[in-house]
Structure 1
C-alpha cells in the first residue's frame, strides 16, 4: 500500500512560517495544535526554514497525497503556497483547497473574505469548509520568470514601497505608512506603456495595479468592483498623482473611492502588458518583490479552492 493511499482526503497539511506572528510564534503554534487536537483533526505539518521554502513544502505534500493545505502566516506565506501549487504538475490545481490562519502584520488577502485576524476564529472558518474557486494571476517578467499571485500585484510606486518595507518591517503595522510616505517623497514617476484589448496607453504613471482581490498595502483599495472569480484582472492606472493628491485623498485610498479620481483610470481584462520607460521600476506580487522592468500579466480562471467566511 503506497503512502498516497494512506492519506485520508480529510487530512490537512499545515505549512507554518515560524518567523511570522511578531515574535509570539511558539505560543501561537501551541494554540493551533491544541485546537487541532481538541477537534480531532488529522494533520501533518512543516515549518519554513528559508525564504520561499513553502513552494517545496506544498509540492512535497501534494506528491504525498495531501489535497487540503493550511497556510499559517501572513500574505507572503500564502503567496508562496499558491505559487508552489500553481507550479506543480501532480494534480489539477482546482482539486486543492487552502485554508488560512493569519499571523503577522500584512494580512490583506483575508480582508476580501472577512476572515478575522484571530487564530481560533479563523480555524473555525477553515473546518466549516465554505469555499470559493478563486482566479489566480500570473506575471511574466522580461527574463521569462513566472510568478503566480492570489491578491494584488503592481508596478511602480507600490513596488518601490515593498522594496522599502524590507528595512521598515520591524515597525509593525505602521511600517506601511512609513514606507508610503518615504515613497511619495523619493519615488520618481516614469512613462508606462500599457497594452491590452487592442488599447495602447502611454502615460506618466505613479503605478499600475493588477488585482484579483480587493485590499493591498495594509488595507488600501486601489481596484474597483472586484470579483475574485469573474475571470478578469482588475487594472488601475494611477497616472500623474502627486504627493499632495495622495495626502488629500488618504481616506479614499482606504475606502476605494480613489478609483474615481480624475488622474486614475480602471479597466478589466484577461491579459495585459506593462512596459515602464525606467527598466529599474520595481514589481510586486502580494507584497513580495519579484523583479524590475516590464511584465505581462494573465488570469488563470477558477484555479484554486480557498476557504472563506
Structure 2
C-alpha cells in the first residue's frame, strides 16, 4: 500500500456543506487516479483510533480532511502508535476547517482542485513535532503552535463563536482581552529562569495561529528548536493598536514581547492555573513542560 492513501475526514469541520465538498473531493481524486480508502470520524478524537487501524492495515500515507483540530488528532495518532517509525508516515491535508492555520506556513491553498494537485506531486518536508506534558502527566503532541494563558482562554471561548468563521478568532481574542486576567509565570528555558507577569507563553513550530495571526519569530519547522514567545504585560490597547502587526508577524518586536529558541521549556504559573492549548485544542491547565521531537513526520507541502 506504499502508493495508496488512507483518508480521515471530519464531516463537522468548517461551516460549509460537507457532503457537497466530499463529492467534489472524490471526483478530483478519481480524475487524478489517486488510490485511496477512507473513513469518517464518528466522535471526538476518533482520528487517533482510525490512524492506528490504518497503519496496522499497511497504510503509510494519510490525508487529513478537516481543520487544524482534525490534523492535530491525526498527528497524535501517528505519534502514539508503536507499529512503525513516525518518520515512515506521510500526511497530506485537504483543508475544510475554520482557521486552517497550519497550511498557511506552507502556502497550501484552500481550493480543492489546487490542493489535490499538490498531493499528486507529493513534495515532502520532514517536520518537527512538539510534545507537551501537563502537571497530571497527560502527554499531547502538536504540529503547529501551542500555548499557555490568554490563548488557551480564547480557545476555550472560541467554541461558541465558530459559527462566525475565521473572524471568530478575532472576536474571541478581543473578548478575552476584556475578561482574561494576567498571572505570574515562572518560565525555565535551558539554564535561564524568567519570572514575570504574563499574558501568554507560546510554543511554536510553524508560523500561524488564531486564524492567521503570527506570534512566532524566524520559524523553521525542521530546525529541531521550539520558537518561544513570551507576551508579558500586553493589554487591550497594545493589541488593538497593533492589529496589523498581529497578522504581519512584526508584533514580536514589541517591547513587551520576548522570543527565544530552545529544545525544552517549562512554564509554572504561580498564582492561577491557566488553560493550555495545542493546535487550537484545549488539553489541560496549570504547569506544562514542552519538548521538541526532531524531524518526526513527513508532510506534503506546496
Offset of residue 104 of structure 1: 1.9
Is the contact made by 2:183 and 2:272 (CA closer than 8 Å) also made in structure 1?
A: no
Report what 1:16 is aligned to: 9
Determine the structure 1 residue equivalent to 2:120: 127
Task: Please tell me whether the aligned partners of residues 7 and 38 of structure 2 are also in contact (alpha carbons under 8 angstroms).
Answer: yes
State how far apart, in whole Å, the 1-side matches of 2:46 and 2:231 are: 34
Find the residue that maps to 2:203 and give its secondary structure.
strand
Shift of 1:186: 0.4
> Following the alignment from structure 1 to structure 2, what is the Cα–Cα distance between the partners of residues 139 and 55?
17
1:278 Cα offset (Å): 3.7
Structure 2 residue 185 is the aligned partner of structure 1 residue 216: no
Give the alignment partner of residue 64 of structure 2, picking from 46, 64, 71: 71
The answer as to 2:44 corresponding to 1:58 is: no
TM-score, length basis structure 1: 0.96
Correspondent of 1:46 among 23, 34, 39: 39
Which residue, 268, 271, 280 being the options, matches 1:275? 268
- Once the two structures are superposed, what CA deviation does each residue of 1:21-80 show, in whole Å capped at 9, x if it has no partner? 314100000011111112222110000001110000011000110000000000000000
Residue ranges of structure 1 left out of the alignment (5+ in a row): 1-7
Match of 1:5 in 2: none
Q: Deviation digits for residues 67-121 of structure 1, max 9, x if unmatched?
A: 0000000000000000110000000000000000000211000000000011111
- Residues of 1 paired with 2:53 and 2:254: CA distance? 46
Taking the aligned partners of 1:208 and 1:143, their CA distance within structure 2 comes to 19
Match of 2:75 in 1: 82
| Deviant stretches of 4+, over 2 Å | none
TM-score normalised by structure 2 residue count: 0.99
Give the superposed CA RMSD.
0.8
Point out where structure 2 has 5 or more consecutive residues left out of the alignment: none
Question: What is the rounded CA distance, in whole Å, between the counterparts of 1:80 and 1:229 in structure 2?
Answer: 20
The 10-residue stretch of structure 1 (277-286 or 106-115) with the greater mean CA deviation from structure 2: 277-286
Structure 2 residue corresponding to 1:256, chosen from 249, 252, 269: 249
| Number of matched pairs | 302
